[in-house]
Amino acid sequence: MSVASVSNLTVRYGTRTALTELSVEIPEGCVGLLGPNGAGKSTLIKTLLGFVRPASGTGEVFGYDVMREPLRVRQQIGLMPEQDCHIPGMNAVTFVAYAGELAGMSAKDALRRAHEVLEYAGLGEARYRNVETYSTGMKQRIKLAQALVHGPRLLFLDEPTNGLDPAGREEMLHLIRDISHAKGVNVVVSSHLLPDIERTCDQVIVMRAGRVVQHGAIATLRQTRGTQIDVELRVASEPFLEAIRVRGGTVLYQTGSRCRLLFSDPLPDPGRLLFEAAAASGAQLRGFRPSARTLEDIFLEAMEEP
Amino acid sequence: MSPDPNLPLEPTPSQPIADLSYRHFDGPLHNRTLRWWTITLAMIRLTLRKPGFWILVALAMLPHLIRGFQIYLQSQVPQAAPDLTGASGSRFAPLFFQAFDGQKFFFFLIALQAGAGTIAADNRANALLVYLSKPITKGDYLLGKWMSVFLTLTAVALVPALLLYLYCLLSYSSNGFLHREPWLLVQLIGASLVPGILHSSLIVGLSAWSKSPRMAGAAYAGLYLVSSIVAVTVWGIRYRGDLARGVLERHLSIDGVIGGLAQNCYQVTLKVPQFSRRSMEFQLTEIAIPDLWPLLLLGATLTVLGLAAARARIHAVEVVRG
């Protein structure tokens, strides 16, 4: 079941088209939104929030039309923006409670809830400090707290680990994983950091030039076609690669003395085949292992596809 | 039933005394029709926390306090105090207008303090992303911000005027106060609304176009002071022979519009000193009430311009169109 979807969505900024006839469904759970700069990730989030008016197409969040019922949509959503944002002159409790009231909570509920989410976000001790005095890491946490205060069913996290030190990043990723996997909140994480997505998300949507080029469960996308083997030679050897081709293999890529080989048919004994090819070409084999596709591989392949 | 002796009496440090994990909020989320009121209330609270604001409020109350003291003095020692009866025959309306006139500069200062940062500070802190990602429309946001300045200024204008009115009512009702001033309450309420409407619209409009409250404040201060100085100087030069003429030109400024509309509300004439070459001395020249409709039109135009300028700049995200 999808929590949000867009259909034939086209968004233009003047003469530039940011999203072209985009159709995608955002499934339940934790979804990573990947893509290079200008791919349209932020535009997609802005359109679902009703910040940007599309030239054509439709969008829905939990069944509410994003163009016709933007306020209902926003009541279901929490946004943690990429850039620093706060209400000037307020301490953390007042700020988060105010965010709750803006979302429609009663003042009493909002205040109680502000204390809860600040504790959860790790700002319990600093809750009475003015937000302007917070460090970068604390500002990231308070952005998460204000997004969570009204109990949204869907959270948009835009670059949630920006500016965090390794320990802070670890804690933020832990929070995201906890919210999405243990607390049942649907989360969309937009990030350039592939390891962050890999750590937190189950599904991924890869965008390029305003279109979706790859989407699905990360576990499924990581599965390799045929038999793929990563090989390391002592020095790069073209005769070795030629010997592999002769034996029915395909060279997926070569970086220095490393290469990835694909065999469409299952290989009962890949080691034997590789040693034979090395012996035939005079190459020296340093090591080999079955390939495991990383998210980076999926991303790079998606970027290279025509 | 005795407690289990094996249970620890106090929680150990590893045991939290409260559940600190995330719990989903299932309480009601209201679709309020007065969503802007949440913003207004929060902004007023922030303004009330500024010590400078209270100093200005105290100073803004002085004109009414002084007029009240004058009235008291006249009732106690009629020979020692000047006669406060206006030339128009209504005794109290000129007093209220004079007190309002004395407050005008403080309205401007309070507008700077309460209004310069309304949207400019939000622009600097990217707060619009917080506001507009919640179920709040641009109109709610603008109205909330505008109302916070408007209500602050109106309260500063209205509260001392109402207190003075109450004092006059309690002290002079047996002397025909209500009979002689039947519309004074309506007049003072009308006059008190004018600075709030005009100042809040203009300062919110300028604030929306800036990322610095100081810059927005400086721009408004420049606009307010320069327009006042230019209008009065041009009027003084053009009609130096007879200051009773060119009344409308005198009010072609923000301060002039506020003063002129308040003068219309109270229906009082002004007396300004003018140097007479014949008698070689200063004489008081009576200046008529300016025409209402041109001033109302100018005031309405400035208000709409301010609000439209603010509305044009309120975006959750900056969209660069190429």
Per-domain residue ranges of chain A:
2-217, 227-290
Please report how many Cα atoms fall inside a 13 Å half-sphere around the Cα of residue A72, on the Cβ side: 10
Residue B14, pLDDT > 50, answer yes
For residue B126, give the nearest of A84, A102, A105 by CB distance.
A84
Please tell me the distance from the alpha carbon of residue B185 to that of residue B166, in angstroms, as a whole number. 10
Please tell me the distance from the alpha carbon of residue B285 to that of residue B28, in angstroms, as a whole number. 65
**Residue A130 φ/ψ region, left for φ over 0, alpha for ψ in the -120 to 50 degree band, beta for the rest:** beta
Flag whether residue B121 sits within 8 Å of chain A, measured between CB atoms: yes
For residue B130, give the nearest of A85, A105, A151 by CB distance.
A85
Flag whether residue B21 sits within 8 Å of chain A, measured between CB atoms: yes
Residue keyed to tokens 């990043």? A169
For residue A71, give the nearest of B26, B135, B315 by CB distance.
B135
The shortest C-alpha distance from A108 to chain B (Å) reads 11
pTM for the structure as a whole: 0.85
Please tell me the distance from the alpha carbon of residue A303 to that of residue A16, in angstroms, as a whole number. 20
ipTM of the modeled complex:
0.85
Q: β-strands A285-290, A227-233: how paired?
A: antiparallel
Please tell me the distance from the alpha carbon of residue B167 to that of residue B61, in angstroms, as a whole number. 14
Flag whether residue B129 sits within 8 Å of chain A, measured between CB atoms: yes
Residue of B nearest to A89 (CA): B46
Mean of pLDDT values over A161-185: 90
Q: Which CATH class is domain A227-290?
A: alpha beta
Q: What is the mean pLDDT of chain A?
A: 91
Locate A203 and state its tokens.
Answer: 């599904």
pLDDT value, residue B321: 56
Superfamily of domain A2-217, CATH level 4: P-loop containing nucleotide triphosphate hydrolases (3.40.50.300)
Flag whether residue A90 sits within 8 Å of chain B, measured between CB atoms: yes
Please tell me the distance from the alpha carbon of residue A210 to that of residue A11, in angstroms, as a whole number. 9
Please report how many Cα atoms fall inside a 13 Å half-sphere around the Cα of residue A144, on the Cβ side: 32
Q: Per-residue DSSP letters for B127-181?
A: HHHHHHTSS--HHHHHHHHHHHHHHHHHHHHHHHHHHHHHHHHHHHGGGTHHHH-
pLDDT value, residue A295: 82
Say whether A75 and B117 touch across the interface (CB within 8 A). Answer: no
Q: How many residues does chain B have?
A: 322
Residue of B nearest to A132 (CA): B125
Give the highest mean pLDDT range of A8-17, A286-295, B21-30: A8-17
3-state secondary structure of A215: strand
Query: For residue range A77-129, what is the model confidence (pLDDT) as tens digits?
Result: 999 998 899 999 999 999 999 999 999 999 999 999 999 999 999 998 899 99
Mean of pLDDT values over A199-218: 91
The shortest C-alpha distance from B137 to chain A (Å) reads 8
pLDDT value, residue B10: 55
Beta bridge partners of A6: A24, A59
The shortest C-alpha distance from B76 to chain A (Å) reads 49
Q: List all residues 6 or more positions away from A186 whose beta carbon is below 8 Å from its beta carbon.
A: A3, A26, A28, A29, A30, A31, A153, A154, A155, A180
Say whether B134 and A86 touch across the interface (CB within 8 A). Answer: no
Beta bridge partners of A25: A5
Query: For residue range B35-48, what is the model confidence (pLDDT) as tens digits?
Result: 999 999 999 999 99
For residue B317, give the nearest of A51, A77, A86 by CB distance.
A51
| Residue A216: count of CB within 10 angstroms of its CB | 13
Tell me the chain B residues in contact with residue A98 when contact means C-beta distances shorter than 8 Å: 38, 42
